[in-house]
Amino acid sequence: MKKYYLETEITVHDTIAARILFEILKKESKNKSLINILKIDLSFKNRRIYVHEHIDVENVEYMYDNMYCLHYSLEWDIENGCVDMKESGTHDTTMNFEVHDDYLDFDLIDNLRDTTDEF
């Protein structure tokens, strides 16, 4: 879990709160601290992938209790200098988070690639 400090004043957790959180996170989407939490490792696509310092918040879904799911996308580029080619695209993903009085707690999955898995 990774904390993102943010006061929301949300006291009732439901679909209305999800819409409020969507607006808040959309405004916060340029915040470097939030980007660092949500910018996941995309090296499974290509080891030379570059993920942009930008997230596009698409939706916040209410799950249960104080748990929500953030739907967002990341823009990426892969440059293949030897053949003078560049690929670009977006990666859609989700991340669950809990809402607390003065912070959001994101359920960060540590899934860094281990090259021993290839053997």
| Cα–Cα distance measured from residue 77 to residue 83, given in angstroms and rounded to the nearest whole number | 15
Please report the pLDDT score of residue 110 as a whole number: 59
Can you list the alpha helix ranges (DSSP code H) found in the chain?
15-28, 32-38
Please report the pLDDT score of residue 9 as a whole number: 86
| Cα–Cα distance measured from residue 15 to residue 49, given in angstroms and rounded to the nearest whole number | 36
CA distances 80 to 40, 46, 86, 92, 96, Å, are 21, 10, 6, 23, 34
Q: Where is 58: in which H helix or E strand?
A: strand 49-64
List, for the chain, all residue ranges whose pLDDT scores fall below the cut of 50.
112-113, 117-119
Q: Is 34 left (phi over 0), alpha (psi -120 to 50) or beta?
A: alpha
The pTM of this model reads: 0.82
